[in-house]
Amino acid sequence: MLNSKIINWYEFNKRDLPWRNTSDPYKIWISEIMLQQTQVVTVVDYYYRFINSFPTIKALALADEQEVLNHWQGLGYYSRARNLHQAAKSIVDNYNGVFPDSFDEIIKLKGIGVYTASAISAFAFHLPYAAVDGNVYRVLSRLFGVSESTNSPKGKREFQSLADELMADAPPHLYNQAIIEFGALQCTAKNPDCEVCPLHAQCFAYINKQQNVFPAKKKKVKVIDRFFYYLYIYNEERFLMQQRGERDIWRNLFEFPLIELDNKIELVDLIKSEAWRSLLRDVKVEVTDQIVTKAHKLSHQNLHIEFVHIRVEDKEFEKFSSLIRVDKEAARDYPMPKPIEMHLARE
């Protein structure tokens, strides 16, 4: 049976990861959400810190949102942390603080989709749900020569039913861990080591030398370019920040005052712009530096970010009544987007 070959492979090759040594659904949930957009090596430290600070669902539910976001700083995709926080509150309100133990209840929680609900159901409660993430998708497409992509409903159905069939009556927690790890370490995206693979005699891609053909490429999503000019208004002790709104990337995070434009312009033209004048009005300023960074890539956006350093006298800070004065030593209290965090780290 293919599934027992995968499980055998797993027993010999698995990595020792902290969330594998528990059946606590809360800890499994935290790890799964962190792993959604982030590599395993990065997640381990964040996972320990998060669980230490919020050891139970109740502790997470009672925490301040800013504190939760601070623990997420550096992982990016902050909506994951906000959803965790809100879902923890709803578990306390609706399930008396006990993590629900059925797929149908788990999938109702904020930020949990089919994959994560299947993974938690299988890992924590040993329920027969086959989880299909990017690793599983790659293994199945190569093994069975499926050229459908998972970003169509038809493709999703096809891969889900293949995964269900392959799991058959294998222990769900073991099978799921095994095939996910198999995809991550053995059937890798680039240069899978097929000669030592225990499935190669049955693998469509190997037999047909088509490892690079599968999985089918997903259709490209249009990427937009945005031009951010951040004004780092500072003196020796402090600088200015503002909080982002609800409706855009980096929701509610803290950033320097921002001028966003549709295209790149030179500093002399930025200084003459209406946006600059309305922000700095009658303030005496001294532009001390301009730092152009590499494009910061998000999933559907390229952010072209420049930082303009503007030194002001301490008394001038009072003129920016709508902005937040931040003591340099207290900067870490403010959850902020990665480019801002990196910029401050360099200062």
Q: Annotated catalytic sites, by residue?
A: 32
**Could you tell me the smallest distance in angstroms from the CB atom of residue 204 to ligand SF4?**
8
**Could you tell me the smallest distance in angstroms from the CB atom of residue 132 to ligand SF4?**
15
Q: Name which position in 211, 257, 305, 310 contacts ligand SF4 (CB under 6 A).
A: 211
Q: Please, which residue, 179 or 241, has the CB nearer to ligand SF4?
A: 179
Q: CA angle, corner 85, sides to 79 and 90, nearest 5?
A: 120
Q: How many whole angstroms separate alpha carbon 184 and alpha carbon 181?
A: 5
**Could you tell me the smallest distance in angstroms from the CB atom of residue 168 to ligand SF4?**
18
Q: Please, which residue, 155 or 192, has the CB nearer to ligand SF4?
A: 192
* Cα end-to-end distance, the chain, whole Å: 58
Collapsed DSSP state (helix, strand, coil) of residue 234: strand
Contact (Cβ atoms closer than 8 angstroms) between residue 83 and residue 111: yes
Tokens of 268: 């002399």
Does 141 help bind ligand SF4 (rule: CB under 6 A)?
Answer: no
Q: Please, which residue, 143 or 310, has the CB nearer to ligand SF4?
A: 143
Taking every pair of C-alpha atoms in the chain, what is the biggest distance, in angstroms?
Answer: 76
Q: Please, which residue, 196 or 268, has the CB nearer to ligand SF4?
A: 196
Does 71 help bind ligand SF4 (rule: CB under 6 A)?
Answer: no
> Phi/psi zone of residue 158: left (φ > 0), alpha (ψ -120 to 50 degrees), beta?
alpha
Contact (Cβ atoms closer than 8 angstroms) between residue 105 and residue 129: no
**Could you tell me the smallest distance in angstroms from the CB atom of residue 7 to ligand SF4?**
14
Q: How many whole angstroms separate alpha carbon 36 and alpha carbon 246?
A: 22
Q: Please, which residue, 187 or 270, has the CB nearer to ligand SF4?
A: 187
**Could you tell me the smallest distance in angstroms from the CB atom of residue 201 to ligand SF4?**
9
In DSSP notation, 300-333 reads SEEEEEEEEEEE--GGGGGG-TTSEEEEGGGGGG
Site string for ligand SF4, 143-162 (x = CB under 6 A): x-------------------
Closest to 159 measured CA to CA, from 125, 183, 188, 190: 183
Site string for ligand SF4, 175-204 (x = CB under 6 A): -----------xx----x-x--x-xx--x-
Does 27 help bind ligand SF4 (rule: CB under 6 A)?
Answer: no
Q: Which residues sit at the interface with ligand SF4, rule CB under 6 A? A: 139, 142-143, 186-187, 192, 194, 197, 199-200, 203, 205-206, 211
